[in-house]
């Protein structure tokens, strides 16, 4: 079908229709006057329209419609008969008079066959263009020649000169949201858009068979590429969520027909939004496949995972995140000269936060609009920009991970100097990734191993989680503790999907992943004795690959270091043992356990350090003692700590010895 020509003015379409329906009206009147002779009207609609055409440069909507859908002259006249019924208030009376039946006060096939000399029974067939394209609605429960004919309202408005929009699809299909970005696509994404445009500009037969699939995590990037491809060939992009597709077979076929009609009149291109769908839902998956296989117009699919269509191959493009160089280009363009002092921070931002064009542009606007004196940027703009990026990139992992508000600092963390030094080295590697990987070229040696992974091993309560908090606070990054109960699934393949979601979201958002009690997930692979063993080994193997490819910071904690698969150990950048605290360390923990504003009286940290407990248990005792003291209306004293220690030991099923509490009270 040919592209739609430029619309003529509405008044021209109306003038054209007025002349056409005037001829139809006259035909009905002539027929009524000559019913006794039972002869057909001799009026020639074509000659009437030809006279109007001679005064109009562009082809009005009626001519384009009839040509596009290959309507016969008889079908065009039926269409005009329905237009007259819709626009002339007295036309119903004319129809009833012509039919000789007051109950048939509307156009029918029977009336049309008697009115027009070129009548053809093919128009009565369901597959005739008039009916197939639903240009007119045919009533039911009557003989076909007596059924009510009514023009589709969307077609009527189109014939009057309004831009076409199907009233049955308007609540399902929307234009692509207007983008606030005025930046061109970066080269990697522009290249994909140009390839898609090239596919669509091939022969019509090829372009109709072309279903383009854009796969990747960033919806904005995929939609921007699709929209750019449409702009290159001067066509408009419309979007439908796959969730809005009808699932009944007849309904989806009707949807396809209505959409193909819209494309014929507007040249639009459809994008199916399949983001975050559970394609195991058989009805939804069937509807998507039916649309892919039966639609005869260009189609784009936006999805995270590749769809498989057995009967119609898909042309798939993997939409990768923008490269660091491309992201830096966007940052420089958006910051401009007004914030040039921030340019030196761009490589670090790019190495930590994987943002798309819109997110970068939004972050720049926010930092540029911060209050400033004399049009200068505040000295803490780099911190503001970092925090803005951190917020915008924050991953959506609420169902699989717990966001931890990192409040601990180095003073709270009691560890031997060697362990602290290793933690500081870990932080330095995260901070200097941009320089080492990109400026010094290590990233060019391969994409694997560009992240930082660490194992914190030690008994419960020895400070492993607190150390992760200290790192997150020092790096000003979000910390997420992975909920293993939500990640591990009994269904084959689900655990891997959950893990992929976690790694992908965290990588894009620059978050730190904390796998607490990692031995439950990263355990040794076992000898395969049944399908369950095989599935468990597949999960571990997937984790091995994903950990190596992950480009962020992942921290594993375990109480059972020897239970971890040795393949994981080889891939870990840092392995830090958290020793059980000795008496000196325990005294230090006690000194830092109480907030400065809390009231205390007569506390002896050397005596408290005799309790042979780890830091986690010490915190429990301090907290319980604080509640006891608050209830008694007293400052925290040794007697409150004694009572709390007794409760903690009872919980641990341990005996509190005299040596541990001698001289407390």
In the chain, where the domains are located: 10-159, 173-318, 324-393, 404-578, 583-661
Topology alike, domains 173-318 and 583-661: no
pLDDT value of residue 530: 44
pLDDT value of residue 537: 56
Which whole number is the average pLDDT over 513-528?
Answer: 65
Taking 50 as the threshold, does the pLDDT of residue 526 lie above it?
no
304: pLDDT confidence band, cut at 50, 70 and 90? confident
pLDDT value of residue 453: 85
Tell me if residue 17 falls in helix, strand or coil: helix
Ranked by mean pLDDT, the top range of 104-108, 402-406, 568-572 is 104-108
Distance CA 629, CA 103 (A): 92
pLDDT value of residue 375: 43
Which whole number is the average pLDDT over 570-590?
Answer: 89
539: pLDDT confidence band, cut at 50, 70 and 90? low
Q: Has domain 583-661 been given CATH number 1.10.940.10?
A: no
Tell me if residue 351 falls in helix, strand or coil: helix
Taking 50 as the threshold, does the pLDDT of residue 529 lie above it?
no
Q: HSE of 300 in the Cβ direction (CA atoms, 13 Å)?
A: 32
Task: List the CATH code of the domain at 404-578.
Answer: 3.40.50.300
Which whole number is the average pLDDT over 184-196?
Answer: 94
Q: What is the mean pLDDT of the chain?
A: 83
pLDDT tens track for 322-369: 888 899 899 888 887 666 677 778 888 888 888 888 888 888 888 777
pLDDT value of residue 206: 57
Higher-confidence position of 191 and 114: 191
Helix (H) or strand (E) holding 577: strand 574-578
Contacts 24+ apart (CB under 8 A), 221-225: 221/189, 221/319, 221/321, 221/322, 221/356, 221/357, 222/302, 222/319, 223/176, 223/177, 223/271, 223/302, 224/179, 224/181, 224/185, 224/189, 224/357, 225/185, 225/189, 225/192, 225/193, 225/196, 225/317, 225/319
Point out which residues pair with 455 in neighbouring strands.
Answer: 556, 575
Rounded to the nearest 10°, the torsion over CA 139, 140, 143, 147 is -10
Which whole number is the average pLDDT over 639-649?
Answer: 92
pLDDT value of residue 394: 78
Please provide residue 201's backbone torsions phi and psi, each rounded to the nearest 5 degrees: -95, 5
Helix (H) or strand (E) holding 529: none
Residues contacting residue 458 through CB under 8 Å, at least 6 positions apart: 464, 559, 577, 578, 579, 580
Which whole number is the average pLDDT over 291-312?
Answer: 89
207: pLDDT confidence band, cut at 50, 70 and 90? low
pLDDT tens track for 208-234: 567 999 998 888 899 999 999 999 999
Core vs surface per residue 339-375: b (16+ CB within 10 A) or e: beebeebbbbbbbbbbbbbbbbbbbbebbbeeeeeee
pLDDT tens track for 455-499: 898 888 889 999 999 999 999 898 998 876 677 776 666 777 778
Taking 60 as the threshold, does the pLDDT of residue 40 lie above it?
no
379: pLDDT confidence band, cut at 50, 70 and 90? very low
Using CA atoms, how far residue 204 sits from 193, 198, 210, 286, 426, in Å, is 19, 12, 10, 27, 58
pLDDT value of residue 32: 84
Which whole number is the average pLDDT over 93-115?
Answer: 92
6: pLDDT confidence band, cut at 50, 70 and 90? very low
371: pLDDT confidence band, cut at 50, 70 and 90? low
pTM of the model: 0.77
Please provide residue 270's backbone torsions phi and psi, each rounded to the nearest 5 degrees: -100, 135
Taking 60 as the threshold, does the pLDDT of residue 266 lie above it?
yes
57: pLDDT confidence band, cut at 50, 70 and 90? low
Distance CA 434, CA 432 (A): 6
Question: What percentage of the chain exceeds 70 in pLDDT?
Answer: 84
Taking 80 as the threshold, does the pLDDT of residue 555 lie above it?
yes
Dump strand ranges (E) for 76-151.
136-138, 149-151
Distance CA 515, CA 554 (A): 8
Residues contacting residue 184 through CB under 8 Å, at least 6 positions apart: 190
Higher-confidence position of 60 and 248: 248
CATH second-level architecture of 173-318?
A: 3-Layer(aba) Sandwich (3.40)
Q: Where are the alpha helices (DSSP H) in 550-663?
A: 566-571, 583-593, 605-608, 615-632, 638-652, 658-661
| Candidate from 121-130, 529-538, 542-551 with smallest mean pLDDT | 529-538
pLDDT value of residue 361: 87
59: pLDDT confidence band, cut at 50, 70 and 90? low
Q: Are 583 and 481 in contact (CB under 8 A)?
A: no
Taking 80 as the threshold, does the pLDDT of residue 395 lie above it?
no
**End-to-end CA, the chain:** 95
């Amino acid at each position: 079908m040919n592209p739609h020509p430029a619309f003529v003015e509405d008044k021209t379409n109306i003038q054209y229709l007025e002349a056409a329906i005037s001829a139809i009206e006259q035909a009905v009147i002539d027929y009524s006057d000559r019913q006794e002779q039972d002869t057909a009207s001799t009026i020639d609609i074509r000659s009437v329209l030809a006279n109007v055409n001679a005064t109009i440069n562009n082809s009005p909507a009626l001519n384009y419609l009839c040509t596009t859908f290959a309507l016969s002259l008889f079908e065009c006249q039926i269409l005009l008969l329905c237009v007259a019924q819709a626009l002339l208030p007295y036309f119903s009376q004319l129809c009833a008079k012509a039919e000789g039946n007051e109950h048939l006060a509307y156009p029918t096939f029977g009336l049309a066959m008697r009115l027009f000399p070129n009548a053809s029974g093919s128009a009565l067939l369901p597959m005739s263009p008039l009916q197939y394209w639903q240009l007119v609605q045919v009533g039911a429960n009557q003989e076909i020649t007596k059924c009510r004919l009514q023009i589709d309202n969307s077609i009527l408005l189109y014939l009057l000169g309004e831009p076409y929009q199907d009233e049955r699809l308007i609540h399902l299909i929307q234009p692509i949201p207007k983008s606030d970005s005025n930046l061109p696509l970066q080269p990697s994404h522009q290249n994909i858009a140009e390839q898609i445009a090239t596919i669509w500009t091939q022969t019509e037969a090829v372009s109709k068979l072309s279903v383009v699939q854009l796969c990747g995590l960033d919806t904005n990037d995929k939609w921007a590429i699709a929209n750019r491809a449409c702009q290159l060939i001067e066509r408009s992009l419309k979007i439908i969520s796959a969730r809005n597709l009808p699932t009944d077979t007849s309904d989806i076929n009707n949807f396809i027909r209505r959409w193909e009609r819209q494309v014929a009149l507007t040249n639009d291109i459809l994008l199916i939004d399949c983001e975050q769908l559970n394609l195991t839902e058989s009805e939804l998956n069937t509807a998507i496949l039916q649309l892919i296989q039966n639609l005869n117009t260009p189609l784009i699919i936006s999805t995270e995972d590749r769809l498989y269509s057995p009967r119609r191959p898909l042309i798939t493009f993997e939409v990768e995140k923008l490269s660091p160089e491309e992201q830096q280009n966007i940052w420089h363009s958006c910051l401009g000269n007004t914030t040039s002092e921030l340019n030196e921070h761009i490589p670090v931002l790019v190495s930590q936060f994987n943002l798309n064009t819109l997110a970068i542009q939004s972050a720049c606007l926010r930092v540029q609009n911060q209050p400033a004196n004399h049009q200068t940027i505040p000295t803490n703009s780099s911190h503001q920009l970092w925090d803005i990026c951190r917020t915008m990139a924050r991953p959506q992992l609420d169902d699989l991970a717990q966001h931890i508000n990192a409040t601990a600092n180095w003073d709270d963390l009691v560890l031997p100097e060697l362990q602290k030094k290793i933690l500081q080295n870990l932080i330095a590697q995260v901070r200097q990734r941009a320089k080492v990987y990109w400026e010094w070229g290590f990233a060019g040696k391969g994409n694997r191993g560009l992240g930082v992974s660490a194992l914190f091993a030690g008994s419960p309560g020895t400070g492993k989680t607190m150390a992760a908090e200290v790192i997150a606070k020092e790096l000003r990054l979000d910390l997420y503790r992975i909920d293993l109960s939500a990640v591990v699934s009994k269904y084959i393949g689900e655990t891997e999907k959950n893990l992929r979601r976690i790694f992908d979201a965290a990588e894009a958002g620059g978050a730190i992943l904390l796998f607490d009690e990692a031995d439950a997930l990263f355990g040794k692979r076992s000898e395969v004795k049944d399908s369950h063993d095989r599935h468990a080994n597949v999960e571990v193997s997937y984790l091995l690959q994903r950990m190596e490819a992950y480009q962020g910071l992942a921290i594993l904690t375990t109480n059972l270091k020897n239970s971890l698969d040795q393949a994981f150990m080889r891939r870990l950048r840092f392995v830090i043992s958290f020793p059980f605290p000795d008496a000196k360390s325990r005294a230090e923990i006690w000194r830092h356990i109480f907030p400065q504003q809390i009231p205390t009286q007569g506390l002896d940290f050397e005596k408290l350090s005799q309790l042979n407990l780890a830091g986690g248990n010490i915190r429990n005792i301090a907290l319980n003692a604080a509640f006891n003291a608050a209830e008694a209306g007293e400052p925290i004293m040794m007697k409150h700590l004694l009572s709390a220690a007794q409760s903690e030991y009872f919980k641990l099923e341990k005996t509190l010895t005299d040596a541990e509490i001698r001289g407390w009270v």
